[in-house]
């Protein structure tokens, strides 16, 4: 048996002080996100001051890089040519912090879109049926191109399904229908130029039909829908819906799950939903209970937008208007 003295040495001198070693930063920088901010600039954000490791940055599809510069927690990658609008890029870069802890990041960003339209979530069904599956309508208020815009079931930090919109040149009054529970049929074609080529349940001749491939549908009674300029970009619109109350549970402010609560908190932090108390509560959400597969949750015919529950109503039975002007009639039990 090895003696205790052998394990710790035979010296009776002072024990070394290892506390300074424990205080040294041993954690590499944590990557927080990447976004294109103009046609030739991509920003990568970290949780601490970083230094780029030279000649480690690459982009696919192959794109010339004119410079890479670190400034505090931001790493700025300048490109030699304009990005393709809405195109998915992969960027790989290695950085280190002041204590030489290093990390390598491989992430995606989407080509900068200088012509974003103003678009609202305008009507939706969360309690779909086999003949009228879950569906979200987007309404175009100002012209532009939808390339790279992203609709989430959830928010960009926490989501179940999402659709990154393809390039579509849109005009005021146009509609886009995002089908969250497709059947996987060949006729479920994404429409980018014409509105009359897609088939499938609830496709419309008056709207651009888009399909969430392998989409499982929306949460029926408790959830968040949000629209962003691109993955990692700024929020453009959102809606919170819930049939719960502040008394439903104590762990998640009444919202019933950690995910829904995290999504609501993200909207609150972004100033994307109005509320009456100290924080967003289920009572501030749109109550989906009266809705069905044919009684949609919709804005009024003016598509007013105050970022709150007062913008929304339940349409009468068979009163949904996907691909058409919203109606103002309200369901009365």
Among 179, 138, 177, smallest CA distance to 303 is for: 138
pLDDT at 12: 52
- What average pLDDT does this structure show over 12-22? 57
pLDDT at 55: 85
Write the class of the CATH domain 31-110: mainly beta
Write the class of the CATH domain 119-314: mainly beta
How many C-beta atoms lie closer than 10 Å to residue 42's C-beta?
Answer: 26
pLDDT digits (tens, 9 = 90+) for 128-143: 999 999 999 999 999 9
Global pTM? 0.88
Among 92, 62, 64, smallest CA distance to 78 is for: 64
Distance CA 284, CA 111 (A): 36
Say if 31-110 and 119-314 have the same CATH topology. yes
pLDDT at 19: 54
Residue 23 has pLDDT above 70, yes or no: no
**Domain coordinates of the chain in residue numbers?**
31-110, 119-314
User: 155 by DSSP, 3-state: which?
Assistant: strand
- What average pLDDT does this structure show over 2-28? 57
The larger pLDDT score, comparing residue 56 to residue 309, is at: 309
Gyration radius of the chain's alpha carbons: 25
Task: Locate all alpha helices (DSSP H) within the chain, ordered by sequence.
Answer: 4-8, 19-23, 258-270
Band of the pLDDT at 2, cuts 50, 70, 90? Answer: very low
Residue 281 has pLDDT above 50, yes or no: yes
- What average pLDDT does this structure show over 292-315? 97
| Cβ(147)–Cβ(113) below 8 Å | yes
Residue 5 has pLDDT above 50, yes or no: no
pLDDT at 76: 97
pLDDT digits (tens, 9 = 90+) for 218-268: 999 999 999 999 998 999 999 999 999 999 998 999 999 999 999 999 999
Which sign, positive or negative, has the C-alpha torsion 175, 176, 178, 179? positive
Among 162, 155, 127, smallest CA distance to 264 is for: 155
Band of the pLDDT at 8, cuts 50, 70, 90? Answer: very low
pLDDT at 298: 98
- Share in percent of the chain as helix, strand, coil (round to 5): 10, 35, 60
Please provide the average confidence, as pLDDT, over all residues in the chain.
93
Pair type for strands 88-96 and 102-110? antiparallel
- What average pLDDT does this structure show over 178-184? 98
Distance CA 242, CA 221 (A): 5
pLDDT digits (tens, 9 = 90+) for 45-98: 999 999 998 888 999 999 999 999 999 999 999 999 999 999 999 999 999 999
């Amino acid at each position: 048996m090895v003696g205790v003295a052998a394990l710790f040495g035979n010296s009776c001198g002072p024990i070394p002080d290892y506390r300074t070693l424990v205080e040294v930063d041993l954690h590499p920088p944590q990557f927080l996100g990447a976004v294109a901010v103009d046609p030739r600039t991509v920003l990568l954000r970290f949780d601490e001051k970083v230094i780029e490791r030279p000649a480690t940055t690459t982009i696919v599809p192959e794109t010339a890089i004119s410079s890479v510069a670190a400034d505090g927690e931001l790493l700025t990658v300048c490109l030699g040519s304009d990005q393709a609008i809405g195109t998915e890029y992969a960027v790989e870069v290695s950085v280190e912090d002041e204590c030489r802890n290093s990390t390598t990041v491989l992430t995606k960003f989407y080509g900068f879109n200088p012509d974003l339209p103003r678009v609202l979530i305008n009507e939706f069904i969360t309690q779909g049926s086999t003949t009228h599956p879950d569906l979200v309508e987007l309404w175009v208020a100002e012209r532009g191109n939808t390339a790279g815009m992203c609709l989430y079931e959830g928010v960009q930090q926490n989501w179940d399904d999402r659709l990154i919109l393809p390039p579509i040149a849109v005009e005021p009054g146009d509609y886009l229908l995002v089908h969250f529970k497709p059947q996987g049929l060949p006729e479920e074609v994404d429409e980018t130029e014409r509105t009359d080529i897609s088939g499938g349940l609830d496709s419309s001749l008056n709207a651009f039909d888009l399909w969430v491939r392998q989409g499982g549908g929306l949460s029926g009674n408790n959830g968040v829908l949000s629209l962003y300029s691109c993955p990692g970009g700024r929020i453009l619109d959102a809606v919170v819906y819930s049939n719960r109350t502040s008394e439903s549970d104590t762990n998640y402010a009444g919202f019933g799950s950690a995910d829904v609560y995290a999504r609501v908190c993200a909207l609150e932090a972004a100033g994307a939903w109005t509320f009456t108390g100290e924080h967003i509560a289920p009572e501030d959400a749109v109550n989906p209970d009266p809705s069905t597969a044919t009684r949609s949750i919709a804005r009024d015919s003016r598509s007013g937008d105050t970022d709150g529950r007062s913008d929304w109503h339940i349409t009468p039975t068979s009163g949904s208007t996907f691909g058409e002007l919203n109606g103002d009639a309200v369901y009365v039990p």
